[in-house]
Amino acid sequence: MATLYSNIASLITCSDEGLGALGEIRNASLVVENGRIVWLGEQHDSPACDEMVDCELGTVIPGFVDSHAHLVFAGNRAAEFEARMNGDAYAAGGIRTTVNATRQSSIDDLTRNMKSLVDEMHAAGITTFESKSGYGLSLETERLSLEVAGQFTDEVTNLAAHVVPPEFKDNFDGYLAEVIAPSLSRDLHRWVDVFCDRGAFTIEQTRQIFTAALAQGCELRLHAQQLEHSNSIQLVEEFDIASVDHCTHMSDHDLELMASTSTVATLLPGAEFSTRAQYPDARRFVSAGVPLAIATDCNPGSSFTTSMAFCLAVAVRDMRFTPEQALLAATRGGAQALRRTDVGHLTVGGRANFVRLSSPSYLHMMYRPGVPLVSETVIDGHTIYRRNNVA
Ligand SMILES: [Zn+2]
């Protein structure tokens, strides 16, 4: 059965096929059959179809690809947020509050909590997302967390190296041998990530973890330069790292190193926003030639948002992305950060993962911050979210 999505004021394909970087077609329509896009183009050329959806002069964009999220945990840290907004500084140790709550939870509780966040992501137009473990920090709870994440996404990341838990205080070797190394398994996760920053893991420790991960056939990503500048970016020369995330404190030399590899820099506007930290300047990455992604970093401590539109609004206002760069970073850029070519763009023959916005342009996501504009989210041709009051 072929479905025609017609009356689209602006169809943004994010596929560079001679239509400018955004691949925009105005007054467009789109045909979906068996989960694939079988036709797209100008409305007046539309083929006949079995059924028709009137997009009411709204916008269609590719589903967002959120390449950085922490969705397996219990509890929340609203009190810590309040303290921070009252003047306390953000430190990596707050993670332990969530670890305590997560360890006391059942697999059902963790699954239910993740399900509600995944529902939020779908309502926000996110059709592909990564999720990390990292709030168990014991072999049993880390494995459980990886299993929970694997129920919702193929992009599962082992982040046992989030922080060293109190029972291994000053004993990294013990933590590596007893928890991190035995938790590494390509069956449960594709990726391995390390929080290489002040109060978390050192560069040398990160090297050891990455070496163990590669021996298990895992692929690598990295949290770095969020809290302070260090030499951690040199790791992109030593290891094939898909994405370095945060990149808040980057020297010109760091940017040159990044640009000499295929590593993506994933910027996380929600993290700087929620911790009231200094924003990185996207213009420096662009002029250095570093590919960019924008992700939500959804986590209960430093960025408790599933709203990609909110992240785009902050990225444009405070990180100096142009609106066009921001949209590309949250779609094609996210796909690149996950080394995926099947998502993040709309092409004939490709997957029908897209979002309908009720606004006449994608710009309204940044121009009208905080206003819910997603009217429908479609994955592989199936509607997984539809706003109640929209036909
Ligand atoms: Zn993170």
Co-location of 37 and 164 in the same domain = no
Query: How far lies 75's CA from each of 71, 96, 97, 108, 113, in Å?
Result: 11, 12, 9, 14, 9
| pLDDT above 60: residue 391 | no
Mean pLDDT of 197-205: 96
CA of 27 to the centre of ligand 1 (A): 39
- Does 93 score more than 90 pLDDT? no
Asked if 83 and 126 sit in the same domain, the reply is yes
* % of the chain surpassing 70 pLDDT: 97
With cut-offs at 50, 70 and 90, classify the pLDDT of residue 89: confident
What confidence tier does 90 reach under pLDDT thresholds 50, 70, 90?
low
> pLDDT tens, 118-156?
999 999 999 999 999 999 999 999 999 999 999 999 999
Residue 92 has pLDDT above 60, yes or no: no
Q: What integer is the mean pLDDT of 94-104?
A: 91
Residue 18 has a pLDDT of 60
Q: How does residue 91 score in pLDDT terms, banded at 50, 70 and 90?
A: low
Q: Is the pLDDT of residue 26 over 90?
A: yes
**Do 307 and 291 fall within a single domain?**
yes
Would you state the pLDDT for residue 38? 98
| Contact (Cβ atoms closer than 8 angstroms) between residue 314 and residue 370 | no
Q: Distance from the CA of 98 to the center of ligand 1, in angstroms? A: 14
Average pLDDT score over the chain? 96
Which pairing describes strands 24-33 and 36-42: parallel, antiparallel, or unpaired? antiparallel
Between the CA of 280 and the centroid of ligand 1 the distance, in Å, is 16
Q: What is the CATH number of the domain that holds 18?
A: 2.30.40.10
If asked whether residues 205 and 159 sit together in one domain, one would say yes
What integer is the mean pLDDT of 298-304?
96
The residues near 48 (Cβ < 8 Å, ≥ 6 apart) are none
Q: Which residues pair with 305 in a beta bridge?
A: none
The verdict on 11 and 55 lying in the same domain is: yes
Portion of the chain with pLDDT greater than 90, in percent: 92
Quick check: 378 pLDDT over 60? yes
- Distance of CA 223 from the midpoint of ligand 1 (Å): 7
Assess whether 172 and 153 both reside in one domain.
yes
Range(s) of the domain holding residue 251: 65-337
Residue 173 lies inside a defined structural domain of this protein = yes
Q: Judge if 51 and 84 occupy the same domain.
A: no
* Contact partners, residue 341, CB within 8 Å, separation at least 6: 335
In a domain, 203, yes or no: yes
- Reference 37, options 80, 5, 10; nearest CA is 5
- Domain contains 50: yes
Could you tell me if 27 and 38 lie in one domain? yes
CA of 252 relative to ligand 1 center, distance in Å: 23
pTM for the whole structure: 0.97
Please provide the size of the chain in residues.
Answer: 391
Report if residue 391 sits inside a domain. no
Residue 243 CA to residue 80 CA, distance in Å, equals: 29
Task: Judge if 151 and 234 occupy the same domain.
Answer: yes
CA of 108 to the centre of ligand 1 (A): 23
Task: Kindly give, in sequence order, each residue whose CB lies less than 8 Å from that of residue 192, ignoring residues fewer than 6 positions away.
Answer: 157, 158, 159, 161, 184, 209, 210, 213, 218, 219, 220, 221
Place of tokens 């023959």: 349
Q: What is the pLDDT of residue 94?
A: 79
CA of 190 to the centre of ligand 1 (A): 16
Can you give the pLDDT at residue 96?
84
Distance, CA 151 to ligand 1 centroid (Å)?
20
Residue 243 bridge partners (DSSP): 221, 264
Residues 96 and 106 in one domain: yes
Q: What is the Å distance from ligand 1's center to 275 Cα?
A: 13
- Is 183 a domain residue? yes
Q: Does 166 share its domain with 257?
A: yes
- The answer to whether 175 and 203 are in contact (CB under 8 A) is no
Alpha carbon of 200 to ligand 1 centroid (Å) = 12
Distance of CA 296 from the midpoint of ligand 1 (Å): 9
- Does pLDDT of 295 surpass 80? yes
Mean pLDDT of 229-251: 97
How much distance in Å is there from the Cα of 244 to the middle of ligand 1? Answer: 11
Question: Is 160 found in the same domain as 101?
Answer: yes
pLDDT for 84 equals 86
Three-state DSSP at 166 gives helix
User: What's the 289 CA to ligand 1 centre distance in angstroms?
Assistant: 24
Instruction: Tally the domains of the chain.
Output: 2
- The pLDDT value recorded for residue 168 is 97
Q: What is the pLDDT of residue 212?
A: 98
pLDDT value at residue 366: 97
Residue 368's pLDDT is what?
A: 98
Q: Residue 22 and residue 250: Cα distance in Å, rounded?
A: 28
Q: Which of 10-24, 79-93, 228-242 has the highest mean pLDDT?
A: 228-242
Q: Ligand 1: distance of its center to the CA of 89 in Å?
A: 18
Ligand 1 centre from 301 Cα, in Å? 10
Residue 69 in tokens: 């999220």
| CA 35, chain centre distance (Å) | 23
Q: Distance between CA atoms of 297 and 306, rounded to whole angstroms?
A: 8
pLDDT of 232 > 70? The answer is yes
Distance 17 CA to ligand 1 centre (A): 33
How far away, in angstroms, is 253 Cα from ligand 1 center?
Answer: 23
CA 343 / ligand 1 centre spacing (Å): 22
> Residue 188 above 80 pLDDT?
yes
Residue 160, domain CATH: 3.20.20.140
From 337, 357, 376, give the residue that closes a domain.
337
